[in-house]
Structure 1
Amino acid sequence: MSLTSQSQLLVTALQLGQLLKAARKHRKLTQAEVAVRLGLSQNRVSYLEQHPDELSFRQLLGWCMAVGLELRLGERESQEPASKTEW
């Protein structure tokens, strides 16, 4: 998943993990540096990049701040209910 200056639509946890990792690398941050900013171990940051469904909301917001992302929520363009996803 490439990191761009445009918004990225995420529909799976795996996509979130890929985006967080790409943003970290784009900022030239190591897992250890992100870990310090989040108050976690480097091993935990590595694990969460692979298992982003286990991120707490607080951790997600902190991670976004650490790697220069912002989190936005909005209504879907389609009015159809979302299908069951891995979330």
Structure 2
Amino acid sequence: MSLTLPPQRLLTALQLGQLLLAARKRRALTQAQVGARLGLSQNRVSYLEQHPDELSFKQLLGWCAVVGLELSLGERGRSGSTTKTEW
């Protein structure tokens, strides 16, 4: 099984939570292990996987580092996206 995920386009917080959970599982990390590295309890990691809209930016960057993700931002619509999302 490959340990890499292809780049993902995220348009909702729910998608972010699913990606963080999938990356954690691909790295065979428990919620407790991720929490220990981020200074969070296992319960908080579980909660944030279900409610990623409550992650702080600092937590998101740390979480990405722990599970081997890279955060990349770009202008919407540059790669052929036709999806419109209201913020």
TM-score, normalised relative to structure 1:
0.86
Amino acid at match of 1:84: E
Cα distance in 1, alignment partners of residues 56 and 44 from structure 2: 12
Q: Which has the higher contact order (CA 8 A, sep 6+)?
A: 1
CA-CA distance at 1:83 after TM superposition: 3.0
Tell me the C-alpha RMSD between the 2 structures. Answer: 2.0
**Aligned 1:1-87 pairs, distance under 5 A:** 5-76=5-76, 77=78, 82-85=84-87
Equivalences, count: 82
Q: Which runs of 5+ in 1 are unaligned?
A: none
Amino acid at match of 1:30: T
Q: Deviations over 1:2-60 (max 9, x none)?
A: x8532100000000000000000000000000000000000000000000000000000
**Identity of matched residues, %:** 72
For the residue of structure 1 that corresponds to 2:5, the secondary structure is: coil
Cα distance in 1, alignment partners of residues 12 and 59 from structure 2: 17
For the residue of structure 2 that corresponds to 1:72, the secondary structure is: coil
TM-score, normalised relative to structure 2:
0.86
Q: Is the 8 A contact 2:11 2:85 kept in 1?
A: no
